[in-house]
Structure 1
Amino acid sequence: MPDDARATAISVDQFIPAPPARVWSSLTEPDLLARWWAPGDIRPVVGHRFHLLMPGRGPVPCEVLEVEPYERLVYTFNGTWTLTWSLVAEGKGTRLLLEHSGFDLDDPGDLSAFDRMGRGWRSTVLPRLAALAAQPA
Protein backbone atom coordinates (compact mmCIF):
# COMPACT_ATOMS: atom_id res chain seq x y z
CA MET A 1 0.00 0.00 0.00
CA PRO A 2 1.46 3.40 -0.90
CA ASP A 3 2.20 5.66 2.08
CA ASP A 4 -0.46 8.18 1.04
CA ALA A 5 -3.11 5.43 1.01
CA ARG A 6 -2.45 4.33 4.60
CA ALA A 7 -5.52 4.44 6.81
CA THR A 8 -5.63 7.21 9.41
CA ALA A 9 -8.41 5.64 11.46
CA ILE A 10 -8.70 2.45 13.47
CA SER A 11 -11.84 0.45 12.70
CA VAL A 12 -12.93 -2.44 14.89
CA ASP A 13 -15.91 -4.77 14.43
CA GLN A 14 -16.92 -6.63 17.60
CA PHE A 15 -19.93 -8.94 17.96
CA ILE A 16 -21.43 -8.80 21.45
CA PRO A 17 -23.94 -11.47 22.55
CA ALA A 18 -26.20 -8.91 24.22
CA PRO A 19 -28.98 -6.62 22.96
CA PRO A 20 -28.16 -3.03 21.89
CA ALA A 21 -29.68 -1.58 25.08
CA ARG A 22 -27.13 -3.51 27.21
CA VAL A 23 -24.25 -2.45 24.99
CA TRP A 24 -25.48 1.16 25.03
CA SER A 25 -25.55 1.13 28.84
CA SER A 26 -21.98 -0.20 28.89
CA LEU A 27 -20.90 2.74 26.72
CA THR A 28 -22.86 5.50 28.44
CA GLU A 29 -23.16 4.69 32.15
CA PRO A 30 -20.09 5.82 34.10
CA ASP A 31 -20.04 2.84 36.50
CA LEU A 32 -20.19 0.34 33.62
CA LEU A 33 -17.70 2.25 31.44
CA ALA A 34 -15.21 2.15 34.32
CA ARG A 35 -15.52 -1.64 34.54
CA TRP A 36 -14.37 -2.33 30.98
CA TRP A 37 -12.31 0.74 29.99
CA ALA A 38 -11.85 3.88 32.09
CA PRO A 39 -13.57 5.88 34.82
CA GLY A 40 -15.26 9.03 33.59
CA ASP A 41 -18.25 11.29 33.94
CA ILE A 42 -19.79 10.47 30.54
CA ARG A 43 -23.42 11.29 29.73
CA PRO A 44 -25.07 10.69 26.35
CA VAL A 45 -26.00 14.35 25.82
CA VAL A 46 -24.72 16.36 22.85
CA GLY A 47 -22.33 19.05 24.08
CA HIS A 48 -21.59 17.29 27.38
CA ARG A 49 -17.92 17.75 28.28
CA PHE A 50 -16.38 15.03 30.39
CA HIS A 51 -13.09 13.39 31.27
CA LEU A 52 -11.90 9.81 31.08
CA LEU A 53 -9.22 8.89 33.59
CA MET A 54 -6.70 6.96 31.53
CA PRO A 55 -3.96 4.94 33.24
CA GLY A 56 -0.62 6.65 32.75
CA ARG A 57 -2.21 9.74 31.14
CA GLY A 58 -4.55 11.11 33.75
CA PRO A 59 -7.81 12.86 32.82
CA VAL A 60 -8.43 13.09 29.08
CA PRO A 61 -10.94 15.75 27.95
CA CYS A 62 -13.85 14.59 25.81
CA GLU A 63 -17.00 16.14 24.34
CA VAL A 64 -20.12 14.38 23.07
CA LEU A 65 -20.81 15.29 19.43
CA GLU A 66 -23.65 12.95 18.41
CA VAL A 67 -26.19 10.78 20.21
CA GLU A 68 -28.67 8.38 18.65
CA PRO A 69 -29.75 6.22 21.61
CA TYR A 70 -29.00 2.51 21.17
CA GLU A 71 -27.49 3.19 17.71
CA ARG A 72 -24.66 5.75 17.67
CA LEU A 73 -22.46 7.70 20.08
CA VAL A 74 -19.70 10.04 18.92
CA TYR A 75 -17.31 12.00 21.11
CA THR A 76 -13.95 13.69 20.93
CA PHE A 77 -11.06 12.21 22.86
CA ASN A 78 -8.02 14.33 23.81
CA GLY A 79 -9.09 17.23 21.59
CA THR A 80 -7.93 15.72 18.29
CA TRP A 81 -9.28 12.18 18.11
CA THR A 82 -12.88 11.11 17.60
CA LEU A 83 -14.48 7.88 18.80
CA THR A 84 -17.55 6.79 16.84
CA TRP A 85 -19.50 3.89 18.34
CA SER A 86 -22.18 2.35 16.09
CA LEU A 87 -24.51 -0.39 17.36
CA VAL A 88 -26.42 -2.66 14.98
CA ALA A 89 -28.84 -5.31 16.24
CA GLU A 90 -27.80 -8.71 14.89
CA GLY A 91 -29.75 -11.82 15.82
CA LYS A 92 -29.76 -12.04 19.62
CA GLY A 93 -26.79 -9.71 19.91
CA THR A 94 -25.20 -6.49 18.73
CA ARG A 95 -22.58 -5.72 16.14
CA LEU A 96 -20.47 -2.93 17.65
CA LEU A 97 -18.47 -0.91 15.16
CA LEU A 98 -15.82 1.43 16.53
CA GLU A 99 -13.98 4.01 14.47
CA HIS A 100 -11.15 5.82 16.24
CA SER A 101 -10.15 8.67 13.91
CA GLY A 102 -8.19 11.90 13.85
CA PHE A 103 -4.64 10.56 13.93
CA ASP A 104 -1.91 12.77 12.49
CA LEU A 105 0.50 10.16 11.17
CA ASP A 106 3.18 12.83 10.67
CA ASP A 107 3.22 13.33 14.45
CA PRO A 108 5.45 10.69 16.15
CA GLY A 109 3.15 10.47 19.20
CA ASP A 110 0.04 9.95 17.09
CA LEU A 111 1.83 7.44 14.86
CA SER A 112 2.92 5.43 17.91
CA ALA A 113 -0.61 5.58 19.37
CA PHE A 114 -2.13 4.53 16.05
CA ASP A 115 0.20 1.51 15.84
CA ARG A 116 -0.52 0.42 19.46
CA MET A 117 -4.19 1.24 19.84
CA GLY A 118 -5.57 -0.90 17.02
CA ARG A 119 -4.24 -4.00 18.75
CA GLY A 120 -5.43 -2.76 22.14
CA TRP A 121 -8.99 -2.09 21.00
CA ARG A 122 -9.22 -5.46 19.21
CA SER A 123 -7.49 -7.78 21.64
CA THR A 124 -8.18 -6.23 25.05
CA VAL A 125 -10.60 -3.33 25.39
CA LEU A 126 -13.56 -4.38 23.23
CA PRO A 127 -13.44 -8.01 24.35
CA ARG A 128 -13.73 -6.69 27.94
CA LEU A 129 -16.78 -4.64 26.89
CA ALA A 130 -18.28 -7.71 25.22
CA ALA A 131 -17.75 -9.84 28.34
CA LEU A 132 -19.33 -7.22 30.61
CA ALA A 133 -22.36 -6.59 28.38
CA ALA A 134 -22.97 -10.34 27.98
CA GLN A 135 -23.15 -10.96 31.76
CA PRO A 136 -26.60 -11.78 33.10
CA ALA A 137 -28.41 -8.70 34.41
Structure 2
Amino acid sequence: MTTDHKAETVIIEREFAHPPEKLWRALTQPHLIEDWLMKNDFAPVAGHKFNLRGEWGGVLDCEVLAVEPHTTLSYTWNHVHENPAYDLRSVVTFTLTPTSGGTHLRMEQTGFRPDQTQASGGARFGWQAFFDKLETVLLR
Protein backbone atom coordinates (compact mmCIF):
# COMPACT_ATOMS: atom_id res chain seq x y z
CA MET A 1 0.00 0.00 0.00
CA THR A 2 1.24 3.46 -0.86
CA THR A 3 -0.16 6.75 0.29
CA ASP A 4 0.12 10.31 -0.93
CA HIS A 5 -1.76 13.44 0.07
CA LYS A 6 -4.33 13.10 -2.69
CA ALA A 7 -5.34 9.45 -2.76
CA GLU A 8 -4.50 6.05 -1.39
CA THR A 9 -3.71 2.97 -3.43
CA VAL A 10 -4.32 -0.61 -2.36
CA ILE A 11 -2.02 -3.20 -3.90
CA ILE A 12 -2.49 -6.94 -3.51
CA GLU A 13 -0.04 -9.35 -5.13
CA ARG A 14 -0.20 -13.11 -5.28
CA GLU A 15 1.47 -16.00 -7.10
CA PHE A 16 -0.84 -18.48 -8.80
CA ALA A 17 0.36 -21.89 -9.99
CA HIS A 18 -1.48 -21.47 -13.28
CA PRO A 19 -0.47 -20.01 -16.66
CA PRO A 20 -1.47 -16.43 -17.53
CA GLU A 21 -4.01 -17.71 -20.09
CA LYS A 22 -5.97 -19.57 -17.42
CA LEU A 23 -5.86 -16.62 -15.04
CA TRP A 24 -6.93 -14.29 -17.87
CA ARG A 25 -10.03 -16.41 -18.51
CA ALA A 26 -11.03 -16.12 -14.85
CA LEU A 27 -10.55 -12.34 -15.00
CA THR A 28 -12.52 -11.82 -18.22
CA GLN A 29 -15.29 -14.42 -18.56
CA PRO A 30 -18.51 -13.25 -16.86
CA HIS A 31 -19.53 -16.66 -15.47
CA LEU A 32 -16.07 -17.11 -13.92
CA ILE A 33 -15.95 -13.51 -12.61
CA GLU A 34 -19.26 -14.21 -10.87
CA ASP A 35 -17.74 -17.25 -9.15
CA TRP A 36 -14.89 -15.31 -7.52
CA LEU A 37 -15.88 -11.63 -7.56
CA MET A 38 -19.49 -10.58 -8.24
CA LYS A 39 -22.40 -10.94 -10.63
CA ASN A 40 -21.65 -8.87 -13.71
CA ASP A 41 -22.23 -8.05 -17.35
CA PHE A 42 -18.54 -7.71 -18.17
CA ALA A 43 -17.00 -7.85 -21.66
CA PRO A 44 -13.23 -7.49 -22.23
CA VAL A 45 -13.60 -4.55 -24.61
CA ALA A 46 -12.18 -1.08 -23.93
CA GLY A 47 -15.05 1.36 -23.41
CA HIS A 48 -17.54 -1.34 -22.37
CA LYS A 49 -19.68 -0.16 -19.45
CA PHE A 50 -20.76 -2.83 -16.99
CA ASN A 51 -21.96 -3.39 -13.44
CA LEU A 52 -20.68 -5.52 -10.62
CA ARG A 53 -23.49 -6.49 -8.26
CA GLY A 54 -22.48 -7.33 -4.71
CA GLU A 55 -24.17 -9.78 -2.38
CA TRP A 56 -24.84 -6.82 -0.06
CA GLY A 57 -27.16 -5.34 -2.69
CA GLY A 58 -24.76 -2.64 -3.85
CA VAL A 59 -23.93 -1.96 -7.48
CA LEU A 60 -20.58 -0.82 -8.82
CA ASP A 61 -20.60 1.18 -12.04
CA CYS A 62 -17.60 0.21 -14.14
CA GLU A 63 -16.03 0.87 -17.52
CA VAL A 64 -13.24 -1.09 -19.15
CA LEU A 65 -10.23 1.18 -19.65
CA ALA A 66 -7.54 -1.15 -20.99
CA VAL A 67 -7.34 -4.71 -22.26
CA GLU A 68 -4.03 -6.35 -23.16
CA PRO A 69 -4.80 -10.09 -23.33
CA HIS A 70 -2.95 -12.21 -20.79
CA THR A 71 -1.10 -9.10 -19.52
CA THR A 72 -3.22 -6.15 -18.30
CA LEU A 73 -6.85 -5.44 -17.51
CA SER A 74 -8.05 -2.14 -16.10
CA TYR A 75 -11.48 -0.76 -15.30
CA THR A 76 -13.21 1.86 -13.23
CA TRP A 77 -14.70 0.70 -9.92
CA ASN A 78 -17.22 3.33 -8.88
CA HIS A 79 -19.73 3.13 -6.08
CA VAL A 80 -22.00 6.16 -6.29
CA HIS A 81 -23.61 6.86 -2.94
CA GLU A 82 -25.99 9.60 -1.78
CA ASN A 83 -23.65 10.17 1.18
CA PRO A 84 -20.44 11.72 -0.27
CA ALA A 85 -18.38 10.04 2.47
CA TYR A 86 -19.20 6.66 0.90
CA ASP A 87 -18.89 7.75 -2.74
CA LEU A 88 -15.96 5.84 -4.26
CA ARG A 89 -14.44 6.53 -7.64
CA SER A 90 -11.48 4.29 -8.27
CA VAL A 91 -9.62 2.28 -10.90
CA VAL A 92 -8.70 -1.39 -10.61
CA THR A 93 -5.77 -2.69 -12.67
CA PHE A 94 -4.72 -6.31 -12.92
CA THR A 95 -1.22 -7.05 -14.19
CA LEU A 96 -0.24 -10.63 -15.04
CA THR A 97 3.42 -11.61 -15.21
CA PRO A 98 4.46 -15.15 -16.20
CA THR A 99 6.73 -16.89 -13.68
CA SER A 100 8.53 -20.23 -13.73
CA GLY A 101 5.74 -21.69 -11.56
CA GLY A 102 2.72 -19.94 -13.07
CA THR A 103 1.65 -16.29 -12.88
CA HIS A 104 2.28 -13.35 -10.60
CA LEU A 105 -0.94 -11.32 -10.31
CA ARG A 106 -0.82 -7.72 -9.12
CA MET A 107 -4.07 -5.90 -8.38
CA GLU A 108 -3.86 -2.16 -7.85
CA GLN A 109 -6.90 -0.13 -6.82
CA THR A 110 -6.27 3.61 -6.95
CA GLY A 111 -8.42 6.56 -6.02
CA PHE A 112 -9.29 6.24 -2.33
CA ARG A 113 -9.58 9.71 -0.84
CA PRO A 114 -7.66 10.39 2.39
CA ASP A 115 -10.98 10.36 4.31
CA GLN A 116 -11.79 6.86 3.00
CA THR A 117 -9.57 4.80 5.28
CA GLN A 118 -12.46 2.46 6.06
CA ALA A 119 -13.05 1.86 2.34
CA SER A 120 -9.37 1.25 1.59
CA GLY A 121 -9.09 -1.08 4.59
CA GLY A 122 -12.16 -2.93 3.39
CA ALA A 123 -10.62 -3.19 -0.07
CA ARG A 124 -7.41 -4.69 1.34
CA PHE A 125 -9.43 -7.32 3.20
CA GLY A 126 -11.90 -7.83 0.34
CA TRP A 127 -9.32 -8.37 -2.39
CA GLN A 128 -7.53 -10.99 -0.27
CA ALA A 129 -10.86 -12.85 0.06
CA PHE A 130 -11.59 -12.42 -3.67
CA PHE A 131 -8.16 -13.87 -4.52
CA ASP A 132 -8.84 -16.85 -2.22
CA LYS A 133 -12.03 -17.50 -4.21
CA LEU A 134 -10.12 -16.97 -7.47
CA GLU A 135 -7.65 -19.69 -6.43
CA THR A 136 -10.60 -22.07 -5.95
CA VAL A 137 -12.01 -21.18 -9.38
CA LEU A 138 -8.64 -21.83 -10.99
CA LEU A 139 -8.42 -25.31 -9.45
CA ARG A 140 -11.45 -26.51 -11.43
Identity of aligned residues (%): 33
Q: 1:11 corresponds to which residue?
A: 11
Aligned length: 129
Classify the secondary structure of the residue corresponding to 1:78: strand
Q: Does 1:21 align with 2:21?
A: yes
Identify if the C-alpha distance between structure 1 residues 57 and 101 changes in structure 2 by more than 3 Å, giving closer, same or farther. Answer: farther
Contact residue 75 and residue 84 of structure 1 kept, 8 A = yes
Q: 1:132 corresponds to which residue?
A: 137
Distance 1:6 1:118 in 2: 19
Q: 1:43 corresponds to which residue?
A: 43
Contact residue 40 and residue 50 of structure 1 kept, 8 A = yes
> Which TM-score applies when normalising by structure 2?
0.84
| Pairwise CA RMSD | 1.9
Contact residue 15 and residue 130 of structure 1 kept, 8 A = no
1:37-66 per-position Cα deviation (integer Å, ceiling 9, x unaligned):
101011111000000001224321100001
> Which TM-score applies when normalising by structure 1?
0.86
Identify if the C-alpha distance between structure 1 residues 4 and 24 changes in structure 2 by more than 3 Å, giving closer, same or farther. Answer: closer
Q: Does 1:114 align with 2:114?
A: no
Distance 1:41 1:33 in 2: 10
Classify the secondary structure of the residue corresponding to 1:102: strand
Q: Which structure is higher in helix share?
A: 1
Q: Does 1:33 align with 2:24?
A: no
Q: 2:90 corresponds to which residue?
A: 81
User: Where does structure 1 differ by over 4 angstroms across 4 or more consecutive aligned residues?
Assistant: 3-7
Q: 1:100 corresponds to which residue?
A: 109
